[in-house]
Amino acid sequence: MTASTGYNFSAEKSNFDNFYYNKLVGAFYTQNKDRFEYSVGKGVNFNLGIGYTTKQDIGFELEGSYLMGMKTIGKTDYFVSDVFKKEIWGCFYRINPSIYLLRPLKKLSLKLSIGGLMGFGKMYLNQSVTYNEGMPGFQYENEFSGGYYLGFEAGISVLYPINNQLNLFVDVNWINAYFSPMRGRVTKFVSGEHDYTDILDVWDREFTYSNSVDKMFNTPEEPANMLRENFAASSIGLQVGIQWSLWHKEKNKEEKVD
């Protein structure tokens, strides 16, 4: 079994325009200038796994993890005094089935692994505008959920034995993934000094994703329809953890479970 924690940094960033989800904000400042780069795959990881190693040092592992996302923050100045601020992050539960090759060295062991990655969770997007040196503009916050988090992972680990049952390890991994939500909603909409969140129509407050859209604009009592999108979730991570064997006998007699 393994237990580890670490941090994943953004990789292969994607981008979208300012006020990408701007049904309420209207057409204000949606040009491509200074597009906001992001990845919702960065953040702190907590991981638990169980694996099985054969006599030939080939193994199989199933790992579960929780990604506590960290915000990507961007600011853009327009017309000298107008400031746009964007924040995006996500929190996800993930499952990673993988196959690995273990190579014992003199005092260490090297582990190479590759596998799939799937999960679920939520993504958050906050956008705001401040006008004229402090005059309040808009605060616009969204939550995205449903759908799936999908990709694959490759990693290399170095294991250091403490005793016959326990190893310390350092792992470097690369994740190529995306998050494809099925729905979203506005959790906050403030214009000037007024909070309009609780009085929004359903169309203004909620939206759904699908592979094709017959009509985008529904009645005020129906959510808006939008084409399904994939949001970047790729990352490069560094993890530190421990591995302990549930049983471990001589290699020529029995295989082991880690």
Residue type, 126: N
pLDDT of 171 strictly over 50: yes
CATH of the domain at 38: 2.40.160
Burial class (CB in 10 A: 0-12, 13-18, 19+), 254: exposed
Residue 192: the pLDDT is 79
115-159, pLDDT tens digit by residue?
999 999 999 999 888 776 666 678 889 999 998 999 999 999 999
Contact 244, 9 (CB under 8 A): no
How far is residue 97 CA from its own chain's centroid? 18
Structural domain total, the chain: 1
54-69, pLDDT tens digit by residue?
888 999 999 999 999 9
Q: Range of 109's domain?
A: 2-257
Burial class (CB in 10 A: 0-12, 13-18, 19+), 216: exposed
126-137, pLDDT tens digit by residue?
988 877 666 667
Residue scoring higher pLDDT (156 or 107): 156
Place of tokens 């929004």: 200
Residue 38: the pLDDT is 81
Q: Name the least confident of 12-16, 72-76, 208-212.
A: 12-16
Report residue 82's pLDDT band, with 50, 70 and 90 as the boundaries.
Answer: low
Contact 235, 11 (CB under 8 A): yes
Contact 82, 131 (CB under 8 A): yes
* CA–CA gap between residue 164 and residue 171 (Å, rounded): 20
